[in-house]
Amino acid sequence: MHPDLDATRHGPARTGLIRALARGFLGRCPHCGTGKVFRRFLKVRPECDACGLALHHHRADDLPPYLVIFLVAHVVGYLILETEMGYDVPLWFQLSFWPAATLGMALGLLQPVKGAVVGLQYALGMHGFATLPSGGPAAPRGEEPRLGPADERATDTHPGLGPA
């Protein structure tokens, strides 16, 4: 049986933290791994078209660009210092290559990092992600909490800590 499926009692179980992050980074639904998170660049789908997991209530907000700036600045800053100290690189190359490399890395990482942030919120049961599709919650939809951590009684799992 697929490790994500516990169909005997609760339907599909919540995906573990690391796998949810990896699926989101690759643009895949953190719950099923087959549907897509984005419908176009940086635009999250309202729900997964494969498993029906609602994605519209994610709150990635400013975290993806913050993480991308943190990562790209450290990599590019290190490489600029390394080439400046170790090689005789012409100024025109420094002034043209590093801005282009910074822009390319930032744009290339932004969507994968946003997908991973959506996967993080899913794995932790944040916001609306406390409710799983297809028989996940025991409580009716009207009783789900709008904010705060996952309702343990509703999901019957330990987000991020289960065997997944």
Residues that bind Zn ion (CB under 5 A): 29, 31-32, 35, 48, 50-51, 53
DSSP reduced 3-state for 114: helix
Report, in Å, the least distance between residue 112 CB and Zn ion. 17
Task: For residue 47, give Cα distances in angstroms to 39, 58, 120, 122.
Answer: 10, 10, 16, 13
Tell me whether residue 85 or residue 141 sits nearer to Zn ion (CB atom). Answer: 141
Tell me whether residue 68 or residue 129 sits nearer to Zn ion (CB atom). Answer: 129
Report, in Å, the least distance between residue 89 CB and Zn ion. 47
The answer for 160, left when phi > 0, alpha when psi is -120 to 50, beta otherwise, is: left
Tell me whether residue 14 or residue 31 sits nearer to Zn ion (CB atom). Answer: 31
Report, in Å, the least distance between residue 50 CB and Zn ion. 4
